[in-house]
Amino acid sequence: MEEKIYSVTEFNKMVKGYIDENPNFQEFFLKGELSGVTYYKSGHLYFTLKDKQSQIKCAAFNYKFKRIAEDLKEGDSVKIFGDVGFYEARGDFQVLVRHVQKEDKLGEMFAKLEKLKKDLEREGLFSPLFKKVLPKYPKAIGIVTAYTGAAFHDIVNTTRKRFENIDIYIYSAKVQGVGAKEEIVKGIETLNKIPEIDLIIAGRGGGSVEDLWAFNEEEVARAFFQSEKPIISAVGHEIDNLLSDLVADVRAATPTQAIEISIPVKKEIEKQLLEKEKRVKDSINRVIKKKKDEIKQLQSSYVLKNFIKAIEEKNQMLVSKEEKIEDIMKKIFRNKSHELEVCTEKIIALNPLNVLKRGYSITKIGDKVIKESSQVKLGDSIETTIKNGKIISRIEEII
- Each domain of the chain, given as residue ranges in start order, spans 8-103, 108-264, 305-345, 353-394
Following CA atoms 190, 193, 194, 195 in sequence, which dihedral angle do they give, to the nearest 10 degrees? 160
pLDDT band at 201 (very low <50, low <70, confident <90, very high): very high
The pTM of the whole model exceeds 0.75:
no
Q: Which fold has domain 8-103?
A: OB fold (Dihydrolipoamide Acetyltransferase, E2P) (2.40.50)
Following CA atoms 113, 257, 142, 201 in sequence, which dihedral angle do they give, to the nearest 10 degrees? -10
Give the integer Cα–Cα distance in Å for 183 and 174: 6
Helix-helix angle 255-262:150-162, to 10 degrees: 20
Query: Average pLDDT for residues 55-64, to the nearest whole number?
Result: 92
Residue % of the chain over a pLDDT of 90: 44
Q: Which fold has domain 108-264?
A: Rossmann fold (3.40.50)
- Tell me the one-letter amino acid at 36: G
Give the integer Cα–Cα distance in Å for 171 and 216: 20
- Residue 274: what are its φ and ψ, rounded to 5°? -65, -40
What confidence tens digit (pLDDT) does each residue in 248-276 have? 999 999 999 999 999 988 788 778 788 88
- Tell me the one-letter amino acid at 351: N
Query: Average pLDDT for residues 47-74, to the nearest whole number?
Result: 90
| In the chain, alpha helices (H) | 8-21, 105-123, 150-162, 180-192, 209-212, 218-226, 243-247, 255-262, 266-299, 302-305, 307-349, 352-357
Instruction: Tell me: pLDDT of 230 over 80.
Output: yes
Q: Cα 232 vs. chain centroid, distance in angstroms? A: 16
Give the integer Cα–Cα distance in Å for 283 and 289: 10
Q: Which residue has the higher pLDDT, 143 or 304?
A: 143
Give the integer Cα–Cα distance in Å for 137 and 272: 14
- Residue 392: what are its φ and ψ, rounded to 5°? -100, 125
If you count them, how many residues does the chain have?
399
DSSP state of 82: E
Instruction: Tell me: pLDDT of 96 over 90.
Output: yes
Query: Same topology for domains 8-103 and 108-264, yes or no?
Result: no
pLDDT band at 303 (very low <50, low <70, confident <90, very high): low
Helix-helix angle 218-226:105-123, to 10 degrees: 30
Mean pLDDT lowest among 231-245, 258-272, 273-287, 350-364: 350-364
What confidence tens digit (pLDDT) does each residue in 307-344 have? 677 777 788 888 788 888 888 888 888 888 888 877 77
Contacts 24+ apart (CB under 8 A), 112-115: 113/216, 113/243
Following CA atoms 119, 123, 125, 126 in sequence, which dihedral angle do they give, to the nearest 10 degrees? 70
Q: Which residue has the higher pLDDT, 137 or 271?
A: 137
